Amino acid sequence: MALKQQTPYYTYKKKVNIGKRHGHQSGGIMAQMMYYMSESRLRGKIRRIRDALEADPVDVQTLKQLAISGDGLITVDLRSKVWTKLLNVNAIEASRNHEKKEDNLEIKQFRAHKYWRQVNLDVDRSHRRFPAEMRASRRRALQEQLVRVIMRVLCRNLDLHYYQGYHDVAVTLLLVVGEDVASALLEQLSLYQLRDFMEGSMEKTNKMLAFLHPIIEEADPELEDFLIRSEVGQVFALSWLITWYGHVLKDFTTIVRLYDFFLATHPLMPVYFGAALVIRRRADVLSGECEMSYVHHLLSRIPDDLPDYVEELVTASHSLFCKFPPEKLAGAAERYLKESMALAKHKQFIRELEDQRPDSVLRQRRKQLAQYSNDALQLPAGIQSPSQSNPYMKLAVWTLTASVGTVALYVLSSAKRWI
């Protein structure tokens, strides 16, 4: 049974029209040349993602590298497929398991759970996480799905504790992959990357947050000295970490770009990203008062223009991780490494990722396409694209198959902002 495709529930905006003339001819020509190079790179990257998905076993290492590199996983269709592989989830099986459930029994189990009321309260307040143009009826339906996604994980794992902000992670998954697969993805994410946040106390979360300071101290001692003297601590970054920045960022394309990055890397990468963000703002910090309330207020507010340089931050945080890996950080960081459930399970989880089989649907499509031309982006008649039921993905597929021209320049420029 082929996995049912779902329409994504969010939109994206492109801020700059690459290739548009700005007053004189040479500027337009240079911009168009840059665009042609960008289009070729995107087409090549899409082919590499598809090849890695269809390899037997699935080439998880290549998928990770592509998720980390510029533009991330590019489209919602590719993202929905790769995320399942990065979390070792069988999407088709997850859909089948949900179809077998008896909803009435499930709801009774949900209502009996100790976190039922709190989950509903938080989801009711989650309006801002849905597109502003979405119909109220559609948003309410998605909020009901969101409650079910969260409660399934909590009911199946009674040792996990819900925390405020968990729903921000869950809604990101829901908007990308739909309810059935989101439940399976959230469970894997909770058992591995988010495990320390779901303890009965905040002790391990606070220790994870404390990693910010050793990282900044290694990369920028002057800035770290200022932060210590200001006594700002690290609570300003709490909402960043426990929601994977989903609660503090307004641009959904930036949020899912970060999820590509975090899912493909170490459980502590969100902390390294926070350190990279603080370091980038060093001039603002050092030019102000060395006083706790001022520094806290400054750092706790995410800059509105962060989407414009998110790729730079991704590169910077990955570089920080490579230069100063967690194992080499001293003091409190070492104590956290010994106690962390998330880090203890990470190596085992990585081993399990390496033996996944490609989806049968992808393998069948690969064989069908082999008899046609070498252009992997040109689908023959009779072979249904996985994005045909998705109007946003129709746009992306049409763009990649169209000839490079004035219309294609604009459309593919928009497609690039799936980051």
Token pair recorded at residue 169: 């992670």
194 Cβ contact partners less than 8 Å away, ≥ 6 residues apart: 166, 169, 242, 342
Q: Summarize pLDDT for 47-78 with one digit per residue, the tens.
A: 999 999 999 999 999 999 999 999 999 999 99
> Are 387 and 5 a contacting pair, CB within 8 Å?
yes
Q: Please give the radius of gyration of the chain, using alpha carbons only, rounded to the nearest integer.
A: 22
Amino acid type, 298: L
Token pair recorded at residue 8: 């994504």
**Gap between the Cα atoms of 45 and 51, Å rounded:** 10
E strands of 213-305, at which residues? none
Instruction: Give the range among 196-210, 257-271, 325-339 with minimum mean pLDDT.
Output: 325-339
pLDDT at 94: 79
pLDDT at 385: 40
> Are 146 and 170 a contacting pair, CB within 8 Å?
yes
E strands of 128-249, at which residues? none
Q: Summarize pLDDT for 261-287 with one digit per residue, the tens.
A: 999 999 999 999 999 999 999 999 999
Instruction: Give the range among 10-19, 130-139, 213-222 with minimum mean pLDDT.
Output: 10-19
pLDDT at 82: 96
Q: Mean pLDDT for the chain?
A: 80
Instruction: Give the range among 42-56, 318-332, 352-366 with minimum mean pLDDT.
Output: 352-366
93 Cβ contact partners less than 8 Å away, ≥ 6 residues apart: none
Q: Summarize pLDDT for 289-314 with one digit per residue, the tens.
A: 999 999 999 999 999 999 999 999 99
pLDDT at 414: 42
